[in-house]
Every structure is written in C-alpha cells, then in structure tokens.
Amino acid sequence: MGEGRLVYSSLDGYNMGMLMLAACIVLSWMFIPIWNQRNKKGPKTWPLVGAAIEQFMNYDRMHDWLVKYLSESKTVVVPMPFTTYTYIADPANVEYVLKTNFANYPKGEVYQSYMEVLLGGGIFNADGELWRKQRKTASFEFASKNLRDFSTVVFREYSLKLSAILSEASFQNQEVDMQELLMRMTLDSICKVGFGVEIGTLAPNLPDNRFAKAFDTANIIVTLRFIDPLWKIKKFLNVGSEALLDKSMKIIDDFTYSVIRRRKAEIEEARATGKNIKAKHDILSRFIELSEASESNSTDKYLRDVVLNFVIAGRDTTATTLSWAIYMIMTHADVYNKLYSELKSFEEDQAKEENVSLLQYDTEDLESFSRRVKQFAGLLNYDSLGRLYYLHAVITETLRLYPAVPQDPKGVLEDDVLPDGTKVKAGGMVTYVPYSMGRMEYNWGPDAASFKPERWLNDGFFHNASPFKFTAFQAGPRICLGKDSAYLQMKMALAILCRFYRYSLVPGHPVKYRMMTILSMANGLKLTIARRS
C-alpha cells in the first residue's frame, strides 16, 4: 500500500478538478446572484457546482462527513455538477432499493464506466442477464463442499505463514505493519483459491510483487474517478493518473491472462497425453470446466473478468476488516480477554474431542512455540470454527463500525419515490452507506458508537440482524456470495493471531481510513508483537 501515497501525490486530476471548481465558482459569482443555501437534508449548495465544494473539502474524511448529515436526517440529497447523489441510512429505504424495487437501481452506466477498466463485465460490475448468468454459476460454486474444503486448507496455510512472520518479529523486537501483512496474506490466499497459483508475497523476506502494486494503484485511481471531472479527457490523451492506470492494468492483465493460458494448456496437454491430472478446485479451473461442459466457449476476457472480480472482492475486503478487528481488539482490553478465554476453552475442548494431547511449549523457544501454533491451527476447520460465537461477534461488530465497503452507489433507471417520500430522478445515484448506518442511534440505539460484540449474542449464541440494517455484505438479490468464505478466512486468521499474540500500537502512529472503494487504513497499522502462552 506504500505506493498509494506516491500515486495520490502524482495524480493531477484532483488538483485540476479543484481548479475547475474554482473557475465555476468565479463564473457563478460573475453571472449569477450569489446563492448559498443550506439544504434541509444536506450540505451547502452553490450554482453550477452544487455541493461539490464542501465534498471536495471533506474528501479525506467523507465517511464521517456523511455521518454528521445522516444523523440529522435519514436521507441526504447532495447535488453535484453532473448528477445528484441521494445517500440513505434508513433500513426501510435500503430494503426498497436493494430488494423491493431492485430492478430500478442497477449498478448503472455511470458506475460501470468508472470501474469497467478493472472489473470488466464481472459480477460486481454487471447488470441484467450477464449478472444473472454469473450469479447463478457463482452461487453454485460457492456452495460446493470441494471449494469450501480447499479454501479451508489454503486459509489455514497462509494464516500459519503470517504467524511465522509475527513470531520472528516478536523474537527480534521488530515493528510490523499489520495491514500490509494481512494484504499479502489475503492476496496470496485468494490467488491460490481464485487462480490456483502461488504468488509468494507473504514469503519471509516480503518480496515486492508487481501484480500486487499494480492492483493497489488501479484501485486508488478508479476511486478518484468518482470525483475527478477530467478523467475521461486524461484517458483519451493518456496522461496523468489515467496513464498510470493504463500501465497498472497492463501488469494486471498480463499476469491474469498468462495464468489462464497456462491453465488451459495444462488441461489440453493432459487430454492429449491421456494423463489423469488431479482435479483442481480453484475458481478459474472450475469456470474453464463449466464453460467447456456447457459448450459456451467462454473467452479469456470473460474468465479474466470472473476471476479478477473474486480476487478484488476477496483480498482487500478481508484484509481491511482483519486490520480494523485487530485494532479494535487491542484497544478494548475487555473484548480481548473474553476472546482469549473463548479460544483457550475451545482449544481444550477440541483437543479432548479429537483425543489430542496438547504440546508443552516455551514462548521463549521459537521452535516449540511454532509447533504449538501449528497444533492449534490443526484443530481449526469449517465446523469447529462455527462454535466460536464470540469470535464471530467480534468480526461482525467490526464490520458494523468499519464495513469493508463503506458506501455503495446504485444508478436510478426511472424517476421514483423512496418510502420516506424522497424523490429521486432517473440518471441520478442512490447510495446506501454502511459506514453511517452502523453509527446511527436510530438503527442501533444509544450505544451505536460503542464497540460491543455482546450486542450480537443471546445466551452465548450468535444472532444475526436484518441484512437491510447490517449491510456490510449488501442485501437482496446481490447479497454477497462470499460471505461464508470471508468469515471462514477471518475466523481462521484471528483465532491463531489472538490465541498466541498480544499487540501494541507503535506510539504516535495515526490510525485513519484512506478514501478508496475499500475502507483501508491510510497509514497502515504499525504494531509491536508479544507472544503469549
């Protein structure tokens, strides 16, 4: 993520956009009577530029900027130069948009134009029949026991690799950037599950990886497109941020297409030689097999879009959630103590159930400590992790306050009226805001701002809330298919990381979010690590 700062500083689009806004303001002062209106349901608006001035001024803290307005009104209308955004935090409105009148609120052409270069026609950027086709196939695959079992093995393997790095850092008294390590872990994991390849970014020497860097750069730039009115001009001229995006996408596509061609060649060679190759359970192999079985002759571009969408969804979202979870656990001692007690009790009960004698270990001896961590990891599987209700609640409470996707815009096909009476116009955008929704007292009560995993438990067992109130995984027809897989990886990692390590924030290290499509930490999460028995 370090390249993000370089990318941001090199992006001329932000500054050029600000200059254009300034020019518009001057023109409005010269030719139109000065008008400064405080919307009843939103920020100050001006002629020509709408609320863009205030939005630009608050860009780096936009999520909290919206919290302020949505705490005063459940719906906030924000006029912009070329469209109008309607932000919603009321579960009734959210249900209407995501389910009741789902057909009227697609991704839409505006959103698709921003994200097409990265997401292509993949499931997270598609509408209509293309979306339905991918959704049906993906739904079947995610329900597959083979994929679930394969993912469990992969998630355990890479959680242990991360544990080994943390263990070494603790012995050497080294600081670590936990978010960077988690990004590496989830990228390696999702590339193994998605492509069936080992890219090795979590190797002990933490090597640079061109694909990972290009991936981060592309994510930052497509997010900035939402506020850069000149991005299409720069794309046409291939200058500035769009030139950098073009270079990044070439790296991403070269890697992706090379893996697709290699996998197809392996399949063809096996057929030609009559060899029985071991069935692969990664998503790419499954989609190749399915396309051949249905004689749909899917193109490499289709396969690229399918797999990259799952890599994008499974990498950053999981890593950022784990980063915020560790931060919340380490800053709430009562939560950490309860979680540690649950993990210790689980370990003892699971060992008895499997008739396993727990190894003795010395936290000052690296070899015995590592053996003990591996033994504990061996007790973790899909079924046993399901018994860790407090751990599940900790992750869910983290997602309530720090959702991986903090806001999600939808297009408006036809003029409509939301349940609270707000009128929306065709061509505008309606955005539900999980970050704000989790902080609203009208949704969660007077303790809405508090980190309280117990709110999810009833007699010690986990209980869900309505997906239209807890929207971290979206809701309705587009509800996240990878929800169970995400919980599986997060619980696997946190169970190991919180059973054997204690964390302390490096003094003076600032923790705040970066404005991207995903709620990542702007400066990483710099920690020191201590082992525990």
- Distance separating alpha carbons of residues 55 and 61, to the nearest angstrom: 9
Fold of 3-531: Cytochrome p450 (1.10.630)
Which helix (H) or strand (E) element contains residue 485? Answer: helix 483-500
Show me where the domains of the chain are located: 3-531
pLDDT tens string 1-54? 333 333 434 444 445 445 444 444 444 443 343 334 444 567 877 776 767 777
Distances (CA, A) of 100 to 109, 204, 476: 21, 50, 8
Q: Does 24 carry a binding-site annotation?
A: no
Specify the pLDDT at position 25. 44
pLDDT tens string 320-339? 999 999 999 999 999 999 99
Specify the pLDDT at position 297. 59
Q: Are 164 and 366 in contact (CB under 8 A)?
A: no
- Distance separating alpha carbons of residues 400 and 470, to the nearest angstrom: 7
- Which residue, 339, 402, 415, 430, is CA-closest to 108? 430
Q: Are 57 and 96 in contact (CB under 8 A)?
A: no
How many helices (DSSP H) and strands (DSSP E) are in the chain? 21, 13
End-to-end CA, the chain:
32
The neighbouring-strand residues paired with 409 are 431
**Phi/psi at 473 (nearest 5 deg)?**
-110, 25
List helix spans (H) across 120-239.
128-142, 145-172, 178-194, 210-224, 231-237
**Phi/psi at 457 (nearest 5 deg)?**
-115, 145
Specify the pLDDT at position 9. 40
Specify the pLDDT at position 278. 58
- Which residue, 16, 1, 12, is CA-closest to 244? 12
Specify the pLDDT at position 36. 41
Structure tokens at 516: 């991207």
Residues of the chain scoring pLDDT < 70:
1-41, 48, 50, 275-279, 293-297
Decide: residue 436, CB within 10 A, 0-12 exposed, 13-18 middle, 19+ buried: buried
Q: Given the DSSP bridges, would you call strands 526-531 and 501-505 parallel, antiparallel or unpaired? A: antiparallel
Structure tokens at 84: 């109008």
pTM of the model: 0.88
Neighbours of 336 (CB within 10 A): 18
Specify the pLDDT at position 39. 45
Neighbours of 267 (CB within 10 A): 16
Contacts of 4 (CB under 8 A, 6+ apart): 216, 217, 220, 514
